[in-house]
């Protein structure tokens, strides 16, 4: 059985996995029960265990939306365009989400997915430095394109669920060229939940949020530390109506429990 898991993992990481060979029936039911299309990939730190639904979609590059806040936060901190405690001043413009219509710290901007905050940081970083960093960290297609403040939302940047996992594993092991202080700050910022037995670090994403065109792209990406291992997950799904957005976290948490990780 262990050899089968290792073979499946190797095929996935080489982007030639067969959905019929590796598809996890329990994960597939999470999507079919909700009548949504998507993929979910769960892998542990050393790559000896993997659970996967829809390998073809898992290898498909998509807009990262707010999941780009992982590298974006690190880049902003490393470039010194913001500090962890600095206040980003709201300009008084109402932007839909009530939680974003006020001054923000980096932590609250991350948690609340405040687009305007990270657009302000993007202007401070600039296209040239993004081009440098995205290549350095091998993030997705590493292409910010010409649209400085929207390239992760509606521009040229693309990343697959498989690439999200690879990026997060490098992030966790501090294998990316960022300063220790930047890693530490992001770790504090991205903590979602801490309970006896585990700590969850994650970020949602929603490409096309508030737009009429469908399907839109929903993400939930991150990792969970248990007492014995670290498990990385990347879910993306087609969102055809607003209520679908809640399924992102629901399915990941159910999957982690189904697999005995939580």
Candidates 59, 66, 160, 182; catalytic one: 66
Listed as own residue / partner, the contacts of 211-216 with beta carbons closer than 8 Å and 24 or more positions apart are 214/238, 214/239, 214/240, 214/241, 215/37, 215/239, 215/240, 216/240
Nearest one of 176, 231, 246, 235 to 52, comparing CA atoms: 235
Q: Is 113 a catalytic residue?
A: no
Nearest one of 191, 258, 239 to 37, comparing CA atoms: 239
Question: Within a 10 A sphere around the Cβ of 236, how many other Cβ atoms?
Answer: 31
Integer CA distances (angstroms), 200 to 62, 165, 189, 261, in order? 24, 15, 12, 12
What contacts 175, CB < 8 A, 6 or more positions away?
none
Distance CA 230, CA 232 (A): 7
| 3-class secondary structure per residue, 131-190 | HHHHHHCCCCCCCCCCCCCCCCCCCCCCECHHHHHHHHHHHHCCCCCCCHHHHHHHHHHC
Distance CA 56, CA 140 (A): 16
Residues annotated catalytic, as ranges? 66
């Amino acid at each position: 059985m262990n050899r089968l898991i290792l073979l499946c993992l190797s095929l996935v990481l080489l982007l030639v996995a067969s959905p019929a060979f590796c598809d996890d029936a329990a994960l597939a039911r999470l999507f079919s029960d909700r009548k949504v299309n998507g993929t979910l990939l769960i892998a542990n730190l050393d790559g000896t265990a993997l659970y996967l639904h829809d390998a073809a979609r898992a290898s498909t590059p998509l807009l990262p939306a707010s999941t780009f806040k992982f590298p974006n936060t690190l880049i902003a901190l490393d470039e010194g365009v913001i500090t962890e405690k600095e206040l980003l001043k709201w300009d008084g413009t109402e932007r839909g989400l009530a939680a974003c219509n006020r001054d923000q710290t980096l932590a609250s901007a991350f948690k609340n997915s405040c687009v305007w905050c990270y657009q302000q940081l993007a202007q401070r970083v600039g296209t040239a430095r993004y081009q440098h960093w995205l290549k350095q960290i091998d993030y997705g297609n590493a292409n910010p394109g010409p649209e400085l403040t929207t390239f992760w939302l509606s521009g040229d940047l693309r990343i697959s669920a498989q690439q999200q996992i690879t990026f997060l594993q490098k992030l966790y092991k501090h294998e990316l060229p960022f300063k220790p202080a930047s890693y530490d700050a992001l770790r504090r910022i991205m903590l979602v939940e801490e309970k006896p037995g585990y700590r969850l670090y994650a970020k949602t994403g929603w490409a096309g949020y508030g737009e009429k065109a469908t399907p839109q792209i929903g993400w939930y990406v991150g990792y969970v530390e248990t007492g014995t291992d670290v498990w990385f997950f990347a879910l993306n799904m087609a969102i055809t109506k607003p209520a679908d957005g809640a399924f992102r976290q629901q399915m990941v948490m159910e999957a982690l429990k189904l697999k005995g990780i939580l």
